[in-house]
Amino acid sequence: MNIQPTKPNIEQLPENFAIIVDSISAISVSGVEADKYLQGQLTCDVEQLAVKKLLVGSHCDAKGKMFSAFRLLQQKEQRLLIQSNASLETSMAELQKFGVFAKVDIAQAEQLGYLALVGASSGEFIQTEFNAVPDSFNPVVANDDASVLYVGGATERYLIVAKRDHIDALSKKLTVDIYPSEVWTLLEIQSGFVHMNNVSIGAYVPQMLNLQYVNGISFSKGCYLGQETVARMKYLGRNKKALYALKSEGELKWQADAMINDGSVLEKQAGENWRRGGDIIAHYEADDGTIYIQAVLANDTEADASLRLKHQNGIKFNLMSLPYSITEEA
């Protein structure tokens, strides 16, 4: 295995590489009423899972505030809600709380591991190991106890979900460089898929984290927890926030040891003054000092807005483009 302990910036990443992803986990939901139960808990239309194979969605409280954002697939008899490690415990506890009234079993899928493959040549490896390659039309390929998801986004990206020993065996067969899990966070930032931290749990409705732009909200399904708030945000136009990707600018020496954490805040310039601009959801610090941030800002933030870290105001940021457009909803 070509293990790379380094954390490159986006421009330094090779065309093809892999990531051992240990920053995500899955909640397993099984039982005869699994789909029915999840349909009443999640923002996505679970009834479409049998056809679409892979769904994006969120799990909210009664007020529409998110516990988690996830990718949902079925692996044999279990439905897997794959999400950031930070959100799993709270989301699982809430699902278990109401799950006692349904014929479902809910637990963490602790036996699973995750291997991401990035780049055009990834398909060759997947074809060899799984005899098929997922794509945007057929986003899941399954083989025995493993599933391969086509994640897409800003890059050609796949995620293999399998038992840990299977992931280890596949990793040993790779000839490309293998990077640490932080690079997965970088790709999520670049792709505009929220990678929730502890502070963001229970703080935002799905539209504030761009779930509507990644097909993570169904506005035509039946009732689910938090639906009233989510619908009001859409039909009354009350959402004023959005998820953005940002990259640091200026001399990299300012950015060494930035010490960004879950409580870090961005400031936005307003004339000669600086005011609170938004909250940081996820971040990635490359070895050369370049910082990438996923943050919630006002959804009318200008493309050329001047933003900086509050606790280290020498570090300024520019907005990055996302693979989808952030526009006002009809």
Question: How much of the chain, in percent, has pLDDT values that exceed 70?
Answer: 96
Q: pLDDT digits over 47-66, tens only?
A: 999 999 999 999 999 999 99
CB count in 10 Å sphere of residue 140? 18
**What's the average model confidence in pLDDT over 262-273?**
87
Query: Is the pLDDT at 329 greater than 70, yes or no?
Result: no
* Mean pLDDT computed over every residue of the chain: 93
- Per-residue pLDDT at 253: 55
The stretch 277-293 carries a mean pLDDT of 92
pLDDT computed for residue 258 by the predictor: 65
| Dist CA 142 CA 71 (whole Å) | 16
Q: Output DSSP code: residue 243.
A: E
Which CATH number belongs to the domain containing residue 157 in this structure? 3.30.1360.120
Alpha helices in the chain (DSSP H): 34-39, 49-52, 85-99, 122-130, 164-173, 182-191, 227-235
Single residue among 158, 191, 224 that ends a domain in this structure = 191
- Answer yes or no: is pLDDT of 208 > 90: yes
In angstroms, rounded to a whole number, what is the distance separating the alpha carbons of residues 194 and 245?
10
Judgement on whether residues 185 and 306 belong to the same structural domain of the protein: no
Helix (H, G, I), strand (E, B) or coil at 60: strand
Residue ranges of alpha helices (H) inside 214-322 are 227-235
* Inside any domain, residue 138: yes
Are 72 and 136 within one domain? Answer: yes
- Stretch 92-98: mean pLDDT, rounded? 96
What mean pLDDT is predicted for residues 140-163?
94
Report the domain count for the chain: 2
- Cα distances (Å, whole numbers) of residue 9 to 95, 186, 241, 290, 319: 37, 9, 27, 7, 16
Does residue 215 surpass a pLDDT of 80?
yes
Q: Residue 121 and residue 119: Cα distance in Å, rounded? A: 6
Confidence band for 330, pLDDT divided at 50, 70 and 90: very low
Task: Report, in this order, helix, strand and coil percent for the chain, each rounded to 5.
Answer: 25, 35, 40
Please check whether residues 282 and 137 belong to one and the same domain.
Answer: no
Domain that holds residue 275: 240-319
Q: Which of 128, 109, 111, 232 is nearest to 170 (CA)?
A: 128
Instruction: Assess whether pLDDT exceeds 60 at residue 226.
Output: yes
23 and 167 together in one domain: yes
| Residue 287 pLDDT > 70 | yes
Cβ neighbours around 228 below 10 Å, total: 13
> Given this model, what pLDDT does residue 256 score?
55
pTM of the model: 0.95
d(CA 206, CA 69): 8
